[in-house]
Amino acid sequence: MKQRKTKIVCTIGPASSSRKMLKKLILAGMNVARLNFSHGTHEEHRKVFERIRSLAKSLNRPVGVMQDLQGPKIRTGKIKGGSLVLKAGEEFVITSRRILGEPGIVSTTYGGIIKDLDKGHAILIDDGLMELKVLGKNKTNLTCKVVTGGILHESKGINLPGVKTRIPSLTKKDKEDLRAGIEMGIDYVAISFVRSAKDVKSLKRELKRLGADVPVIAKIEKPQALEELDEILDACEGIMVARGDLGVELSPEKVPIAQKMMIRKANLKRKLVITATQMLESMTEHPIPTRAEASDVANAILDGTDVVMLSGETSVGRYPVKTVQMMERIAIQAETDYSAEGHSYPKTSSFPDAISESACLAAENLGL
């Protein structure tokens, strides 16, 4: 089989953290294991990390480990019974007070939400499945109208489209998690909800303080980051096209264009680019992907992504191994077409780069 150039990142979770399953994923083609520090304890992550290192050594396969920091993610608080129902047209309160949620009110992990929002602002919950509109506020509460209802579970993500929050890019939890990751020996660290190059530099200062030199991947999840993408690319070693949260705050029809732009700019600056979120989402429950998903993966590769990432498909899905195998098959086919069609590399900005790329292209054409 033709050797695959595109790398595959697998998110590790309950469905894939056992030694047996990790071995299968490595043999199936996993190049990098992603440890999501939004969930789990340091000890749980450490055990998984050690399993990966041990298996990679015994199988003689290079497998990297990427630590994904939670970042300033805003979530709903705890709810009595675990969930409640939001009905369109009703009033609902979001409070900064530490309370147990119940019908009509829920707390949030971000106390500054009261100051950041005003009448008329939209609040999206659970990846946009539910929407609220702010009617008014006092010192501790936001009174909202439910625009789109649904079942609200605790610890669900809250997005505030168009709002610049005061929450720091690197939280206290992130710093504690980063220290734990460095002690383990992680190979890459991904910073979430990057808004500007300052966020990346903040993480790099913390890495320096810890005496670590680890490549930083900036996750592009905020429309604000798109406006400062060039500066962000200059500050980091790579970016992740994180389409989940980006797709909540950006209109769905704009995401594909934004994705192509991000990949193109990363290629031009010779920075690593990872395309992520819902790439083979249906394989979380089904053994084969939809044709649209296969096209999505292939087109990302044809556009120039270096890495494709699996999230829920491998962390909680029913078919983690089949998903990696499918991702590999799609990648190899896309790469074959990429070469056959004679796609050119992005234009370079330096003479030495142009000579190097010409030499590489000539070698490829000669089959060397």
User: Is the distance from CB of 96 to CB of 140 less than 8 angstroms?
Assistant: yes
Backbone torsion region of residue 196, taken as left when φ is above 0, otherwise alpha when ψ lies between -120 and 50, otherwise beta: beta
CA 32/CA 187 separation, integer angstroms? 9
Which member of 6, 277, 284, 314 is catalytic? 277
CA 297/CA 120 separation, integer angstroms? 38
Which member of 4, 7, 23, 34 is catalytic? 34
User: Is the distance from CB of 186 to CB of 209 less than 8 angstroms?
Assistant: no
264 catalytic, yes or no? no
Please say whether the dihedral angle defined by the alpha carbons of residues 214, 215, 216 and 217, taken in this order, is positive or negative. Answer: negative
Give 269-321 as a DSSP string.
Answer: TT-EEEEESSTTGGGGTSSS--HHHHHHHHHHHHHT-SEEEESHHHHT-S-HH
CA 125/CA 158 separation, integer angstroms? 5
Distant-in-sequence, close-in-space partners of 37: CB < 8 Å, separation ≥ 6: 45, 67, 68, 69, 70, 174, 177, 181
Distant-in-sequence, close-in-space partners of 194: CB < 8 Å, separation ≥ 6: 169, 200, 218, 219, 220, 221, 222, 225, 232
CA 115/CA 309 separation, integer angstroms? 36
User: Is the distance from CB of 24 to CB of 321 less than 8 angstroms?
Assistant: yes
Q: Any idea of the CA torsion for 317, 321, 324, 328, to the nearest 10 degrees?
A: -150
CA 48/CA 22 separation, integer angstroms? 9
- The SS3 call for residue 254 is helix
Q: Percent helix, strand, coil in the chain (nearest 5)?
A: 40, 25, 35
209 catalytic, yes or no? no
Which member of 73, 219, 265, 271 is catalytic? 219
329 catalytic, yes or no? no
277 catalytic, yes or no? yes
Please say whether the dihedral angle defined by the alpha carbons of residues 18, 21, 27 and 33, taken in this order, is positive or negative. Answer: negative
Which member of 19, 24, 53, 75 is catalytic? 75
Return the active site residues: 34, 75, 219, 277
